[in-house]
Amino acid sequence: FFYPRKNTQSLPVIDPKNKEITTIVAVGFDSTDLTRVAGTRGVAVSVPYYWKESDVENVLKAIQGL
């Protein structure tokens, strides 16, 4: 889940009914914090507007569960 806006108040917590989805990775662009939206089954990663290769690596690690 990618979200570019900073205001996340209107977003619901991501909680898919499919129990085979074990981890949700929510990526906040421009340093948006999606911790609340990711819920208990998720992890939030924030990427700055001017991202670096290390930011991409952090997203990939979150997807891989590292």
What's the pLDDT at 52? 95
Query: What is the reported pTM?
Result: 0.78
Residue 49 pLDDT: 87
Q: Taking the domains of the chain in order of start, what are their residue ranges? A: 2-64
Who contacts 42 (Cβ-Cβ below 8 Å, separation ≥6)? 14, 23, 24, 25, 26
pLDDT at 54 over 90: yes
In the prediction, which pLDDT does 53 show? 96
Q: How confident is the model at residue 20 (pLDDT cuts 50, 70, 90)?
A: confident
pLDDT for residue 65 is more than 90 = no
